[in-house]
Structure 1
Amino acid sequence: MLSYIIVVIVLFLIPGPAVLLTISQTAQGGRKSGIITGIGIAVGDLIHTIAAVLGLSAILMTSALAFEIVKYLGAAYLIFLGIKSLLEKAKKQEQPAQKKNNTATSFRQALLIELLNPKTALFFLAFLPQFVHNNGTPVVIQLLILGLTFVLMSILYTTLLAFLTSTIGKRLFANKNSRLARWQGKVVGSIYIGLGVKLVLENQK
């Protein structure tokens, strides 16, 4: 378990879609939005874990059609969110506070993005079994424990990211007329579109 935790921490330190999503949502909607985004990502990972345990993720590994369908649905959703952010006008200083309360949207978006990433499903299918041992504990139980550990660590990590991003963001966007504030939506939109394009270019293997 200690080896597993160390490997997961190293994986977290490598910037990926979860990191970019948490940072962009925090910058756009505030600390609470970032934390909820992280929880949405973690719930998506938990569902992927359960799917891997049940063998459902194997379908994505063996079926090119299923992989492509999920991949393009995920990419389309990301690009849609990106275009939506790009088209939004710069918000006034008081408006981000209103967006902070829209936690349901942050959770839903993060959950869908994570679920519609076939690479995440394949990651859990390939990664978790490497830490299963023949110690008398049923394999299913071991996989679930490993998956839950990953999910809890993910929530802690994204929560930390949300706190750091919101603290830095308050200084950067303190002035509502700040050039950074005016470009905030464009930066967030570009991140979403970039993630969508990256997902389109992903291969099954």
Structure 2
Amino acid sequence: MTLQFLLTAFVVVIAPGTGVIYTLAIGLGQGRGPAIAAAFGCTLGIVPHLAAATLGLAAVLHTSAVLFQTLKFAGVAYLLWLAWQAARAGGALSVAPDRARDPAWRIAWRGTVLNLLNPKLSIFFLALLPPFLSGNPASATAEMIGLGAVFMAMTFGVFVLYGAFAAAARDLLLGNAAVMRWLGRAFAAVFVALAARLAVERPA
């Protein structure tokens, strides 16, 4: 493992994407504990993509237009559903001062599905990890798993920090219902934008 890999992975992890937005929405809507559950779920959703890259299945996804499009539009539909949940009062991602917390497992499950339905993740790992391997075929699988585990740990840590920041902001904003409603609509708009971006994605 090299410093170059750590820096590359860190830049990728901190970049705002669907997982970051989901974790921020949960942190603002429900607080620090639920945000940690969201971070855990998003991290768990990386596992199938890492496995696909390690086993070479990501290459199949890269070359199969039908499989890629099917997974992609399932992800688009899920992002639009999350947008609706953020926009409507009482939705799963609504930002309101009086909303009850969802069970941690449900929050984590949504985060897992969110990353699971992003076909670009498998192709991303297929492109990101090989350049940092030693070149020894006998240890390639173990090295891929090791690099992937580091990436996942970094993802979880950064997402927890994002969630803690959002939860702290929630504590400051609890008294302003208008701002909380505006934030819910803003998250809905971001999820719609992410769905639109995913809809036009093609295998690299």
What TM-score, normalized to structure 1?
A: 0.89
CA distance in 2, matches of 1:61, 1:145: 23
Higher mean C-alpha displacement, 63-72 vs 1-10: 1-10
Match of 1:138, SS state, is: helix
Equivalent positions of 1:1-40 (< 5 A) are 1=1, 2-40=3-41
Say whether the 8 Å CA contact 2:46–2:115 is kept in structure 1: yes
Higher mean C-alpha displacement, 10-19 vs 68-77: 10-19
Is 1:174 matched up with 2:178? no
Residues 136-189 of structure 1 deviation map (CA, whole Å, 9 limit, x = unaligned) = 861100000000010011111111111111112211x221x5320232322222
Judged with a 3 Å threshold, the aligned counterparts in structure 2 of structure 1 residues 27 and 93 are, in CA distance, closer, same or farther, namely: closer
CA distance in 2, matches of 1:55, 1:203: 19
Q: What residue is the counterpart of 2:88 in the other structure?
A: 87
How many pairs were matched up? 200
Structural RMSD (CA) = 1.9
For 1:94, the aligned partner's letter is D
Q: What residue is the counterpart of 1:109 in the other structure?
A: 110
For 1:127, the aligned partner's letter is L
Judged with a 3 Å threshold, the aligned counterparts in structure 2 of structure 1 residues 115 and 160 are, in CA distance, closer, same or farther, namely: same
Residues 103-155 of structure 1 deviation map (CA, whole Å, 9 limit, x = unaligned) = 12211111111010011111011111111013586110000000001001111
Judged with a 3 Å threshold, the aligned counterparts in structure 2 of structure 1 residues 13 and 91 are, in CA distance, closer, same or farther, namely: closer
Judged with a 3 Å threshold, the aligned counterparts in structure 2 of structure 1 residues 65 and 182 are, in CA distance, closer, same or farther, namely: same
Higher mean C-alpha displacement, 119-128 vs 25-34: 25-34
Say whether the 8 Å CA contact 1:24–1:191 is kept in structure 2: no
Residues 56-83 of structure 1 deviation map (CA, whole Å, 9 limit, x = unaligned) = 1111101001000000000001101212
Runs of 4+ in 1 over 4 A off after TM superposition: 89-92
Q: What residue is the counterpart of 1:185 in the other structure?
A: 184
Judged with a 3 Å threshold, the aligned counterparts in structure 2 of structure 1 residues 162 and 76 are, in CA distance, closer, same or farther, namely: same
Higher mean C-alpha displacement, 103-112 vs 86-95: 86-95
Match of 1:5, SS state, is: helix
Q: What residue is the counterpart of 1:203 in the other structure?
A: 202
Higher mean C-alpha displacement, 64-73 vs 13-22: 13-22
Give aligned-pair identity as a percent: 28
Match of 1:20, SS state, is: helix
Judged with a 3 Å threshold, the aligned counterparts in structure 2 of structure 1 residues 91 and 127 are, in CA distance, closer, same or farther, namely: closer
CA distance in 2, matches of 1:29, 1:143: 35
For 1:160, the aligned partner's letter is L
Higher mean C-alpha displacement, 121-130 vs 188-197: 188-197
Pairwise CA distance, 1:13 = 3.2
